[in-house]
Structure 1
Amino acid sequence: MKIAIAQINPIIGNFKHNVEKIVSMVQKARQRSCDLVVFSEMVISGYPPLDLLENRQFIEDGWHALLSLLSAVDGIGAVVGVATRNPNDLGKPLHNSAFLIENGRILHQTSKTLLPTYDVFDESRYFEPASAVQCTDYKGKRIGLTICEDAWNDKDVFKNRLYRIDPLEKLTAEGADLIVNISASVYDMHKPAFRKRLLQSLAQKYRTPFIYANQVGGNDSLIFDGSSMGFDAAGGLCAQALDFEEDMVVVDTERPSVDDSQIHPVSPSTIASVLKALIAGTRDYVRKCGFDRVVIGLSGGIDSAVVLAIAAMALGKERVKSVFMPSRFTSKDNYEDTRLLADHFGVHYEIIPIDAIYEAFVRALPGETHIDAPGITEQNIQARVRGSILMAIANAENCLVLSTGNKSELAVGYCTLYGDMNGGLAVISDVPKTMVYEIARWINREETLIPQRILTKAPSAELRPDQTDQDDLPPYEILDGILRAYVEEGKSAEEIAALGFDTDTVTDVLGRIDRNEYKRYQAAPGLKVTSKAFGFGRRFPLAKRWAPA
């Protein structure tokens, strides 16, 4: 069987747009003489629609969109996904469903069996699992049709399994000689490599060709990398789609040798992958939210430089405005570096000094103040003046503010509410500071676009004379190591100290992470690139009387 794997970038709830993309890919697959074209999980509505699933009209619109596809899919079969109503009185009201359609007919319908309810996933909130799984026969193949998590419960891969049943085991026992998995697998920097090993092992274990179609693009904080794949019965990779771009690849299950033209290139390294993810996430968030321009406050530091680079690559230089807002504490180097940075990327650049506003603000406060030797209050005022200027520009010019704080700062509260945290999207809020430097070096790999001095100077907020970040924080190499162990790996203070970190430093950092949850509740949505990002995938109470030991 000749099978096209089609990965598209759907817009959640834009059924007309999504159906048009599906039909276009169907036509392309038919032109390539394919028997079947496979799309991603819930491709008709886009994933994840969250509580839109609780809206009756949304579900009806999805069903009518599916019906509209029936007449468009002729001379070829197609596998598509959409939410459907649970016909039974018992259980959750919906199913996460997949359909095999052809020539105006629904040939087969199945529903997702394993419903993830962890991290960013909350499918048990909406969906009832399938009560049974069964194969379907199509053009001489016995197909086991599965949906995303259904393939993530193999006892030989996952030692601590979340589910009692394994749909793949059941389908292959029923005689499946082709496995199809439609997916919306959320990206994190380690997942593509693990996912590839998982799917390869499943093809080898069951000695069955494996077709995997993944969603691509960004939806809110989540990024989907695509990287759809096809494996032969020996676990050999016979097709791979691009990462972070719409694409189509073709698998011929009867072809004895691999067609190298169907192995499309993906990111060559983790850092390259993270950068592509951030570019895709930024582009889709801005455009899907209805904006076409962004504004960024430049400081002369590494974070705002990397955010500007990502924005320019995502949207084009003409859609990016940069603003430098110096004070009496701003170094001459930062005047030069911000100008050079903006020139290298060709973006609009302007200077708006904040000293007069800062002074007027401070002098209006009651009690003793310190304009030239600022304490925390005066430092925060500077950040809030800058944040207000950026928001005013956004209001006046109908553009989106991109905030520039990184994960390390957000973790320990080294950021100002209603100041540098202002924005509609926090582009690098899931990128630790040390990785921000790695991304900058990758951007500069062929040409020095980010001025070298930005990479070598000591990081500083420049809110008081001679200030550096390490006046208030541990070195970022240490901070990021503790942060990764605590937030992403779930280790205790004792376990982290056993890794070689100073016990007092561990206690201090974990305390800061815990105390600053209230700031993160008020932060702009940020793009997820690690296994555990701050946001709705990490839920902690604000009012509590417990702290990590």
Structure 2
Amino acid sequence: MLKLTLAQLNVTVGDIEGNVTKMIAAAQKAREDGSQLVVFPELSLTGYYPGDLLEDPSFLARVDEGLAALQQASRQLRDLFWVVGAPVHRDGPGKRLHNALLVLKAGEVVLRYAKQLLPTYNIFDERRHFEPGPDQARVLRIGDCGVGFLICEDGWNDEGLDYAINPFERLRDAAPDLVVSINASPSNIGKREQRHQIFGAASRRHSLPILYVNQIGGHDQLVYDGASFAVQPEAGVVFEAQRFSEDVTTLRFEDGRFASAGGDELPKVSPAGLPTMEFYRQQIILGLQDYARRCGFRRVVVGSSGGIDSALTLALAVQALGSDNVTAITMPSKFSSAGSVDDSATLCDNLGIELLHHPIADLVAGYARQFESSFASPLQGLALENLQARIRGTVLMEYSNSFGHLLLTTGNKSEISVGYCTLYGDTNGGLGLIGDLYKTEVFALSRHLNEQAGRELIPVAIIDKPPSAELAPGQQDTDSLPPYPVLDEVLKLQIEGTRLARWEHEQASAFMASLTATDDGRALVTRVRQMIGRNEYKRRQAPPILRVRALAFGTGRQMPIAAKHL
């Protein structure tokens, strides 16, 4: 029988001392629970992912100090094995580091395993800093149990589709009683179910029980949902840790089966994940909480236009940080409707937040006068429209600088995709909460928040009104863009393609087939593709956005700017 503790921790990238403190506290709890083994996530010492900090000698020196501190702590808990993720030095040609799993016992490193499969797709770029480990299994005897080890990507290639090496085959040949996989698997819609499917299939194929321990927390644009789990070959997933929350839980492993620490049968794990909109809500809230906390912000500010995007951003910010820490600013121009200003006031009353008024009509007029005086040409058309957005962006940054609030940008994925935003205007900010939500999803999530609250957090008047930037008389988004239900289906295939969930890909493909059956439809698709390509420069300069889908703008999508896209 083996008692083991999974330590699903919210570590901070680069905070070696803080991470060590968290790990020691979890190890002490493991000892109190009578565990023989405590398991931490991938790169738990540094947080995932340190990026080019791994090229900084002073950072690597702190990593060495942190590892020494963990070894010293393990001397005080002599009977406990610690499974730790850390970058470690290596000799020979190639990169100077391994992404490693170390097992500590009584101050000594009793096993070292280097990650073999280093992902270089989507948001991952591990080959930039690490050398692959040797193609071999590592197994350690703990009591009467043989424990084999994997690191994240090593377990994702059991179908043999992405790499020539399959570490699961080596483990099967080594015949451990249990496999422990340490992970930093970022969350997106459908990811939990994908993990269960891949590791459940591998468990059945190789007759290997698996303990999967994942990182939790928001790190820049990525959010890790935790949801660590245990899987048995015949029963499938039999345990799941908390999602979007730290969790330190002790289990019993005996005769190939997992049970509670006291030996009781574990509660059933539902195969269904969170409903899509609730998943988005929880992912965004955790992402904002950790981003603000780690960057040193307690309060945020949002420009409130009376539209759906800023309304949803404000509502999510309140849920993440509390109403006392959220400020809204309305900045009407001569083109702003009275309804939009009134809607902003109603929204802020519903959310219990302060709404400040900063009209910009005089500023716009002053800019226009000086422009014509200096350049002998009136300021008009697109330049005048963008000026309003840039003045609003400047006002918001003035407020941020003066009062210390983090400015949240409010663009959605549909508008960011086609460049329906103003560079240095509404793209100003430190973080975008809804930049990975298509516009149709913005509406759906807004309705979900209201349903969940049992009242109107976001006024129905905002949800129902036609979207408009209100930068010109009578302007509506459909003056420049196809209707969002049409645009979004086109964008899904163009931006995410086969990374869409199967049902979503089939739906978008069927819609696209119908659309391109006509000359007008084909022309629309070509126009959208052109807009996507020529607005890459805006996305490159935009703030980070919280990722909720399989492919988001940012580090996961790398496209050239000066290129012919069609």
Q: What band does the TM-score fall into relative to the shorter chain?
A: over 0.9
Matched, 1:522 2:541: yes
Distance 1:265 1:337, change over 3 A: farther
Match of 1:369 in 2: 378
Name the stretch that deviates more: 173-182 or 508-517.
173-182
The letter for the 1-side match of 2:282 is K
User: Is residue 2:558 matched to residue 1:539?
Assistant: yes
Matched, 1:462 2:470: yes
Structure 1: stretches of 5+ with no match in the other structure = none
Counterparts in 2 of 1:417 and 1:459: CA distance versus 1, 3 Å: same
Look up the match of 2:86: 82
- Is residue 216 of structure 2 the alignment partner of residue 213 of structure 1? no
SS at match of 2:179: strand
1:509 aligns with 2:555: no
Instruction: Measure how far apart 1:287 and its partner are.
Output: 1.3
Contact 2:102 2:109 in 1 (8 A): yes
- Identity of aligned pairs, percent? 40
Cα distance change, pair 139–422 in 1 and its aligned pair in 2 (3 A): same
What CA distance in whole angstroms lies between the structure 2 residues aligned with 1:496 and 1:269? 23
Choose the corresponding residue for 2:103, options 83, 100, 104.
Answer: 100
Q: Provide the rounded CA distance (Å) in 2 between the counterparts of 1:45 and 1:295.
A: 31
User: TM-score if structure 1 supplies the norm length?
Assistant: 0.94
Give the secondary-structure state (helix, strand or coil) at the position aligned to 2:227: coil
Contact 1:282 1:311 (C-alpha < 8 Å) held by counterparts: yes
Shift in CA distance, 263/177, structure 1 to aligned 2, threshold 3 Å: same
Q: Secondary structure at the match of 1:52?
A: helix
CA distance in 1, matches of 2:258, 2:561: 59
Q: Distance in 1 between matches of 2:490 and 2:250?
A: 44
Q: Contact (CA 8 Å) 1:239, 1:251: kept in 2 or not?
A: no
Residue from 437, 440, 444 that aligns with 2:443: 437
Whether 2:126 is the aligned partner of 1:126: answer: no
Q: Is 1:341 matched with 2:347?
A: yes
Tell me which amino acid in the other structure corresponds to 2:468.
S
Structure 2 partner of 1:153: 157
Q: Which amino acid aligns with 2:128?
A: R
Q: Tell me which residue corresponds to 1:139.
A: 143
The 8 Å contact of residues 204 and 235 in structure 1, kept in 2 or not, is answered as no
Q: Structure 2: which 5+ residue stretches go unaligned? A: 500-504
Q: Deviations over 1:280-339 (max 9, x none)?
A: 111111111112211100111111111111111111211111111111221222222211
Comparing 407-416 with 278-287, greater Cα deviation is found at: 278-287
Q: Secondary structure at the match of 2:395?
A: helix
The farther-off stretch of 36-45 and 268-277 is 268-277
Partner of 2:42 in structure 1? 41
Instruction: For 1:256 and 1:85, locate their aligned partners in 2 and report how far apart those are by CA, in whole Å.
Output: 35
Does residue 273 of structure 1 match 2:279? yes
Equivalent residue letter for 1:407: K
Distance 2:187 2:457 in 1: 27
SS in 2 for 1:428: coil
User: Any idea what SS the aligned residue of 2:371 has?
Assistant: coil
Pick which of 229-238 and 520-529 moved more.
229-238
Counterpart Cα distance in 2 of 1:146 and 1:349: 51
Greater CA drift, 393-402 or 339-348: 339-348
Is the Cα contact below 8 Å between 2:301 and 2:329 reproduced in 1? yes
Is residue 309 from structure 1 mapped to residue 328 from structure 2 by the alignment? no
1:196 paired residue number: 196
The answer to whether the 8 Å contact 1:344/1:450 transfers is: yes
Q: After the TM superposition, which residues 7-406 of structure 1 pair with which residues of structure 2 at under 5 Å, given as runs?
A: 7-73=8-74, 74=77, 75-86=79-90, 88-133=91-136, 134-155=138-159, 161-254=161-254, 259-260=265-266, 268-366=274-372, 367-369=376-378, 375-406=381-412
Shift of 1:497: 4.5
SS at match of 1:244: coil
SS at match of 1:72: helix
Q: Which amino acid aligns with 2:41?
A: S
Question: Which residue among 502, 505, 513 is the counterpart of 1:498?
Answer: 513
Q: Deviations over 1:77-130 (max 9, x none)?
A: 2211010111x2211110000111122222211010000001111111110111
How far apart, CA to CA, are the structure 2 residues paired with 1:503 and 1:357? Answer: 43
Residues 255-264 or 360-369, more deviating: 255-264
Cα distance in structure 1, aligned partners of 2:43 and 2:244: 18
Q: 1:111 to 1:185 in 2, by over 3 A?
A: same
Report the Cα offset of residue 260 of structure 1.
3.9
Whether the 8 Å contact between 2:489 and 2:512 is mirrored in structure 1 is no
Between structures 1 and 2, the one with greater helix share: 2
Q: CA deviation at 1:496?
A: 8.2
* Structure 1 pair 260–332 and aligned structure 2 pair: CA distance change class (3 A): farther
Contact kept in structure 2, 1:243 and 1:267, CA below 8 Å: no
Code of the aligned partner of 1:117: T
Q: Which moved more, 1:164-173 or 1:329-338?
A: 329-338
TM-score normalized by the length of structure 2: 0.91
Question: Does the residue aligned with 2:85 lie in a helix, a strand or coil?
Answer: strand
State which drifts further: 449-458 or 361-370: 361-370
What amino acid does structure 2 have at the position aligned with 1:116? P
Letter in 2 for 1:531: A
Q: Hey, what does 2:491 align to over in structure 1?
A: 483
Whole-angstrom distance in 2 between the partners of 1:309 and 1:3:
40
Distance 1:140 1:61 in 2: 36
